[in-house]
Amino acid sequence: MFDALLAGIFAGYAIAVPVGVIAVLIIETGMMGGLRRGFAAGAGAATVDLLFCSLALVVGGLLNQLLAVALVPLQVLSGGILISIGVRGLLSLRASSTRADAATDPRVRGSARELYLRFIALTAINPATILYFLALAIGLPGLGSDPLNAVAFTFGAAGASLSWQLLLGGIGAAAGRILPERAVTATRIVGQMLIIGFGTSIAATALRSVA
């Protein structure tokens, strides 16, 4: 069981640590909305990792077949959503010149619960997350046959993911407090351009695969 827990921890960090669009969004949410909203965004992303990990262990190969059929449409949809998020972010930068204005950005308005649910949706349609847990379902099909090992693996993966996502939210909140106004604005511009780049790459790759 301890080996399964360690394997889960490694798996959780493997999906959470690489810098991708979700990481960029969590950091920016912390910068614009503060620690509580940054933590809510991180918790939303970690919740999806927990759910996907559980599904991968429970249904294994069946999950692989089902998601493989829907993967290309999901990639195109995800790419389009990410591009729109990046464009809206750039447009909001033109309308907001201060940190106080940034805190009213539509993407961080509302309660922490609403942000949590928003990041669940964003992470769930992220192709990188889907692909990773498809590979997990294929590579660890027997783990789900032992309930204790499955629970240990899932607990390890979820805990690792949550710790990293909360760290990103905290980093964003700290940066929003410490960095000068121009540095925050420059960071947000870079973040939006990265998001648009991620979205374009995801959609283009999906469309090329069916061309």
Inter-CA distances, 5 with 15, 16, 100, 156, Å: 16, 16, 43, 5
Q: If you write DSSP's letter for every residue of the chain in order, what string do you get?
A: -HHHHHHHHHHHHHHHSS--HHHHHHHHHHHHH-HHHHHHHHHHHHHHHHHHHHHHHHHTHHHHHHHHHHHHHHHHHHHHHHHHHHHHHHHHHHH--SHHHHTT-TTT-S-HHHHHHHHHHHHHT-HHHHHHHHHHHHH-TTGGGSHHHHHHHHHHHHHHHHHHHHHHHHHHHHHHHHS-HHHHHHHHHHHHHHHHHHHHHHHHHHHHHH-
Whether 45 and 123 have beta carbons less than 8 Å apart is answered as: yes
Question: In this model, does residue 170 exceed pLDDT 90?
Answer: yes
Domain limits, the chain = 2-210
Question: In this model, does residue 84 exceed pLDDT 80?
Answer: yes
When comparing pLDDT for 89 and 18, which is higher? 89
Query: CA-to-CA distance for 44 and 39, rounded, in angstroms?
Result: 9
When comparing pLDDT for 69 and 182, which is higher? 182
| Average confidence score pLDDT of the chain | 77
Q: What percent of the chain has pLDDT over 90?
A: 10
What's this model's pTM, rounded to 2 decimal places?
A: 0.71
Q: What burial letters (b/e) apply to 137-173, b meaning 16+ CB within 10 Å?
A: beebeebbeeeebbbbbbbbbbbbbbebbbbbbbbbb
Query: CA-to-CA distance for 166 and 159, rounded, in angstroms?
Result: 11
pLDDT of residue 124: 85
List, for residues 177-197, the tens digit of each pLDDT value: 887 877 777 777 887 787 788
pLDDT of residue 145: 60
Whether 27 and 172 have beta carbons less than 8 Å apart is answered as: yes
pLDDT of residue 163: 93
Mean pLDDT of 131-158: 69
